[in-house]
Structures are given as C-alpha cells and as structure tokens.
Structure 1
Amino acid sequence: MASPRESLLHEKRLETHLVDMPDYVIEYVRSKKRAKYSASTLLGYVHEYMKFFNWLQHEGISGVDCIKDTPLSILENLTKKNAEFYKEYLEEEIISVENDVKKKRSENAVARNINAIKSLFNYLTTETENEETGECYFYRNVFSKIKVHKKDEDSANRRAKKISSVILNNQEINEFLQYLRSGYEYSLSPRQRNAFLRDKERDISIISMMLGSGARVSEVASLTIKDINFHKRQMDIIRKGGKADTVEVLVSSLDDLKDYLRIREVRYPGAKDTSYVFVSKYGGSAKPISVRAIQDFVTKYTLAFNSQEEFSTGQALSPHKFRHTFASEWIKNGGNLILLRDQLGHNSIETTEKYTNLSSVESKKVMSDIENARNVDSKS
C-alpha cells in the first residue's frame, strides 16, 4: 500500500492514463474503485492493459489507430492461440540489456500481466450489464483458458532460514536503536550530521513503531494523530484494500513516538496543519513522508549498523524485514499464532504459519546441540 502522498500521485497518473483507454476499461476501473481497489493497484493494471492493447495493435489484431478505439468485439473474438501468443510475447520480450546481458520478464511478472487481463475479462463477462438486453457485454472469456505459473514457493523450512538470516533478535534490536541514538552521527560529515540530527527522532520513531507493532511501512507512513491511542497502547491503521484495523504497540515504541511528537512542529514548520504523524520538509513546508523515503533511510541505517565490524561488508535490511523481526519475536515469546495473524493483518493463517518454522529451525539446532553434547560425553 502506498503512502498518502504516493496514493494521490498514483490517482493522478491513473486518471491521466485512463484518457487513452477504451470506455469499458474506464468502466472497469470505476467499478473496482468502488470495490475499494487502491489507485496504486489499478494503475498497475492499466499499465498491463496498455501493453496488451499495444500488442493487439502491433499484431494487426485490433486494426485501430488508437488503443482507445479497440472495440469489445476484438476481446470477445480473440482466439486461444492469440492469447497464447501474447503470453509467449511477454515471456520472450527483451525488457533491458545490461553489460550485454539480455533480461526478460520473470515468471511472476508474466503472471501479474496475465492475471490483470483475466480480471478485466472476468469483469466484462460476469459483472457488466448491457442497458438494452440486461446481458453481460459478452460471455466468451478466452483468458480463462490461459494458465500461468509463479515461481515455485520455497519450502517452509527454507523460507524460515531465509527469514531468520535477515532479521534482528532482541539484543540486536536494542543495539541498533542505541546505535541510531548515540553512535551513527559520529560517522557522518558535518553536513550529513546536521541533516540526520534534524530527522533523528522522527526516523527512530518510525523504525521503532515498525519493530514494535509489525505494521507495514505504508501503514506507518499513513498514520494520523487521531490514530494513536497512548492509553490503550494501540493504533488504528488502514490495511491493504482499505480495510480499517487496530493493532497493539509496544510501550517503548510509543515512548519513541512521544519523543518525536515533542519536536515535530519545531523541526518541521507547518506540521501542525497536517494530521499525518510523520512528515518531512518538502517544498518549504511539512508534507506526509513517503514510503520510498522510509525505505531509503532504513536501508542506509541498517547498512551502516551492519558494517561496523572490521572487514564486514554489511547487509542492508528493508522495512519488511522489521515486520519479520516482530513476528519472530512474537513467536519466540510464546505468542498465539491466531493473534499474530490479526496483528499482522494476514488474510489466512497459512501466511502466518511461516513464522512457526523459525521456532522449528531453532528447535533443530537445540536437538543438534544436545546430540553433540551426548556424543562428547559418551567418548569421555
């Protein structure tokens, strides 16, 4: 989910692109907006439709000069072979060349494109209504016959190992936050230090809120003042798809938030005129911070933190790794899996269950240590 500022930008871009789309695509987008699809999601869909309609035009299938004029009959009468050729085109097109290496779309990128088109065809064949006949625009959905495959998922055990290799444990969390509070600034030039000190409390608070709640970066970026309940130690957030939710927050994270709020209007003139909690100086005034800005400083800080030891190349973490970190600590401390699902806002328990395998990996290590200790004892 995008931040408030990014959502507005995506909304504007979406409306700009819709001008070049057929009327039935515009109708589809309006319908999905009413169904609470985000502007960011729909903008992604429209980008995929532009590829599709341009391909129809290039191949001489649509026979129109402008994709806006593509008639419904072209989609209705598209053959399965046509659809298969389009999928092959997506798979084989060279999308970039770097150091003489040609790069094609990933399986997941192809799947996203085809699934976006399937969504449009499903709408046209099941949700529309002709004003004269009361029937759907057409019923032949050729893309329902096209199968796509995403890259095979890792095993649960492998996912757990991958997650555990890029998360912080409790001690590392404390060390990282302490590093930002009293160590990081001394590695900077005077100019860099001044910029960091201006944003220090804000950045620490954002990181602490993610580590202390498991919230997504977009959910934290979208927080408003009224969303925070310090007494109940909770915050209201907007999940993917626009669903409102309430989650718990660690007291230590709320304390970091209070430290930021005390200096918010001093450091960011005009902040009192916006309800968004986390702001940045933009164009001479305070604006809601963007998701990209948070991602950038998390990368910068974690890379610096992990590069402190001699000969260390360091490793940057993303805000999503903070979400993994919170979930891991929840399970380690005996947290209930159902409650974790609700805290993270997962749609299914299967998504949340990957974190139980972190405990499984640790259990295997414990068993291995016991085995090794017994072997040593038996030989002595």
Structure 2
Amino acid sequence: MASESQQQHYKKLKLLLKELPWYVEEYIDHKRRKLSAASLLNYCHDYKIFFNWIVSEQLFTDEPKNIPLDLLEKLTVQQVEGFLYALEYELNNKEITVNRKLSALKSLFNYLQNIAETKDLKPYIQRNVMAKIEFNEIKESMETIANKMEGKILLGDEYERFRRFVAHDYGETIQDNKKRQNFYKLNQERDIAIISLILGSGLRLSELVNLDLDDIDFSKYSARVIRKGNKEQYVFFSKIAMDDLQEYLKIREKRYHVDKNNKALFVAAPMGPKGKSRRLTARSIEKMIEKYAKAFGKPALSVHKLRHSFATRYHSEINDVPKLRRQLGHSSIQTTMIYTHIRNDDLRSAVDKMDIPKE
C-alpha cells in the first residue's frame, strides 16, 4: 500500500505528465515498478526543463507536450551540448546536477531507441543523440568533498552534545518566550526521538517521514524502510535511539490525540476544525532541525548533514565500508567511500557499535 507521501508524489506526477509528450508517460509507466514515485517525479521535472528549452530555442514552435519523436531523432550533439551549457551557466546547476539530468535523458532516449516498439516492431527512434554525449568529469576529489562536509556535520563530542541540547538545553535558550516554550514542551519527546533516530541509523528524510508504527522491530532494533528504487530493507538503529523512541511512544497517542487508524510513527498536533492529528511532513522535520541547529550554533546542520554525521561516526567505529553502504542504502560504493576521507577523532562512543540484542 502506498504511503501518504507516495500518493502525493503520484498526484503531482499525473499533473506534470499532462505537460509532457505522450512517450514520456509511456516511459514513466515502464519505469513505475522499478523507481519510487519521488524518483519518477524528479525525472519528469528534468524532462520538463529539457522540452521547455527546446521550445525556448525555437527548435519547435508549439507546446512542449506536442514535440514529436522525429525532432528528438534530429537533435545534434551541438544542440544537446548547448542545453547542458545552459543548465550549468544560465540555471547555475552544479556539474553533478547536470550529470543527473543528463542521466535522466539518456535513460529516456535509450527506452525510445532500444525498448519501445511501434506496431511494426520498429524502435521509436533510430538515432540516439544522447548516446554520444559524455558526462561531466567531476573535478572535486573525494578529499575535497569530505573537507567541505567536515565543517557542516557533527564530529567528536558534538554528536552527543547536540542530542542533549535538543533533549534539555534548548529550553533554556527560549525561557523568555512562553509560546515557544509551550511548543517545545509539547514536542520535546517527539523531536528528540526523530533526531536520535537519524543520528542512530542514518535514515533519509523520506524514509523517516514514511515510517509507520508497524515498521519498527523493537526486539531487533531495526526499522523497515522503502529505499530508492522501491527496495524494502531493514535498517538497524542504536540503543539510545530506541530509548528515545520509546519515550516518545509513551506520550504519542494521548498528547497528539492520535486516531487508532493513524499508523504514522511521527505525527503533528491536531489542527483545523476536525482536530485530527496527521503524519509529520518532510518540511516540518526540516524546519525543526533548522531551528535546533541554529540555536545550537551550527546553522549548516540539516537532516542530510545528520545522516552524514551518523555515517562518519559509524565508519570511525566499525570501519566496514560494505556494511555502511548497506546501512545508508547507497547504490554505489563510491558514494560511501567519501566517509573514509573525513577525519573524526572521537572513537569512544558512537552508535553503540550498532549493538543488537541477542534473541
């Protein structure tokens, strides 16, 4: 069963596809079983930029959704390079972002040339210009990326200090603001549970948002998540994260007036005339982290930076890249290797070394 977040993505996807050529919808249907709704939506945003560019360059004089297949077949290498140039220098996309958009286009064009067939069993396009386009070489080394990341994540004793700050010390910084004090007290257990879970597992924001009560295995200290590509996986988390989560669950139903049919793990306080609690949104979690990070004196912290913080500490304790790759859900081990280049002097107390109780 699709989560609320996935359902919202599919609604947005359906609307966006109306602005794109028919063969894009066919391609998306082909990919629907293999990719998440969020990934498909990102692909379509990339395609919209590309097809709008074709119209803006007057390569086609009608609406983008009417661009025919034969136009794609006739695009030159120089024209596609011009599009990539516009992405980087006019839209200020980073090289890695340009590569991602190019990858999306390569996948679409490959489908049109090598997978899709007409009634006569012929490919939709004979010539695939995207096959001739090379990806940008990413100039930054792993060391450079790691060094940039290092100042924006939690290292050493900051890891536990930030958790304790959210759990206790933040309240002291807002003593003069009764409204903020009340809001903090209302959500204190929930907020620390969220932060502990990210710091104790490295979950992505989307994975955290979509967690249901039934996804938590309390005996194995693990959570069932749907990773990129709609892959189901059980992700382990630390004992501290479990302790904080159980403290939140003690007050979840009564404090948030949770309907018994609401299985969302993290919920927001009731709002509106009906007064029903609802699943906490991704943006709400982002804003919550931003609030605590700023008060802590490390405003660059974000949900993703907390995930990086977990990965850095895990590597310093466990020093097992394949296991870390699986824990983070990386498709490429090269992405995981970045954490081997980050210095971390705190080798004493990490994620309980992912200690799992014996059954």
Q: Same fold by TM-score, threshold 0.5 exceeded?
A: yes
For residues 88 and 164 of structure 2, the distance between their equivalents in structure 1, rounded to whole angstroms, comes to 47
Percent identity between matched residues is 38
- Give the Å deviation of 1:141: 0.3
Conserved in 2, the CA contact under 8 Å of 1:295 and 1:318? Answer: yes
Where do residues 334-373 of structure 1 align in structure 2 (5 Å cutoff)? 334-358=318-342
Amino acid at match of 1:74: L
Distance 2:85 2:145 in 1: 30
CA spacing shift, 1:105–1:209, aligned 2, 3 Å: closer
Tell me if structure 2 keeps the 8 A contact 1:5–1:290: no
- 1:56 pairs with 2:54: yes
Cα distance in structure 2, aligned partners of 1:252 and 1:141 = 53
Q: Summarize the Cα distance change of 1:38–1:144 in structure 2 as closer, same or farther, 3 Å threshold.
A: same
Q: Match of 1:140?
A: 127
Structure 1 residue 150: deviation in Å?
5.4
Q: Give the CA deviation at 1:362.
A: 5.3
Looking at structure 1, the residues matched to 243 and 149 of structure 2 have their Cα atoms a distance apart, in angstroms, of 28
Q: Structure 1: which amino acid aligns with 2:87?
A: L
Which amino acid in the other structure matches residue 107 of structure 1?
A: E
In the other structure, the counterpart of 1:149 is 136
Q: In 1, are the aligned partners of 2:5 and 2:210 still within 8 Å (CA)?
A: no
Letter in 2 for 1:324: H
Deviations 1:6-37 (A, max 9, x none): 433322121112122221111011111122x2
Question: How far does residue 216 in structure 1 lie from its aligned partner after superposition?
Answer: 1.7
Name the SS for the 2:32 alignment partner. helix
Answer yes or no: is the 8 Å Cα contact 2:286–2:303 preserved in 1. Answer: yes
Structure 2 counterpart of 1:28: 27
| RMSD value, Cα | 2.5
User: Does 2:275 align with 1:289?
Assistant: no
Residue from 301, 306, 310 that aligns with 1:322: 306
Task: Map Cα deviations across residues 319-370 of structure 1 (whole Å, 9 max, x no partner).
Answer: 22222222222233244332222222222333323223335x759xxxxxxx
For residue 207 of structure 2, give the secondary structure of its aligned residue in structure 1: helix
Q: Which stretch of structure 1 is more off in the superposition, 144-153 or 209-218?
A: 144-153
Superposed displacement of residue 151, structure 1: 4.1
C-alpha change, 1:192 and 1:66, in structure 2 (3 Å) is same
> Shift in Å at residue 5 of structure 1?
4.2
Rg bigger for which structure? 1
**Residue 244, structure 1, aligned to residue 245, structure 2:** no
Partner Cα separation in structure 2 for residue 92 and residue 334 of structure 1: 42
For residue 204 of structure 1, the aligned residue among 189, 192, 208 is 192
SS of equivalent residue, structure 2 residue 157: helix
**How many Å separate the matches in 2 of 1:108 and 1:341?**
20
Aligned to 1:45: 43
Equivalent AA in structure 2 for residue 172 of structure 1: E
Equivalent position SS for 1:173: helix
TM-score (norm 1): 0.81
Q: Structure 1 residues 258, 67: CA separation in 2 closer, same or farther (over 3 Å shift)?
A: same
Report whether the alignment pairs 1:8 with 2:7: yes
Alpha-carbon distance, 1:121 to partner: 0.9
Aligned length: 340
CA contact 2:156–2:345 (8 Å) conserved in 1: no
In the alignment, structure 1 segments of 5+ residues that lack a partner are 96-103, 307-313, 364-380
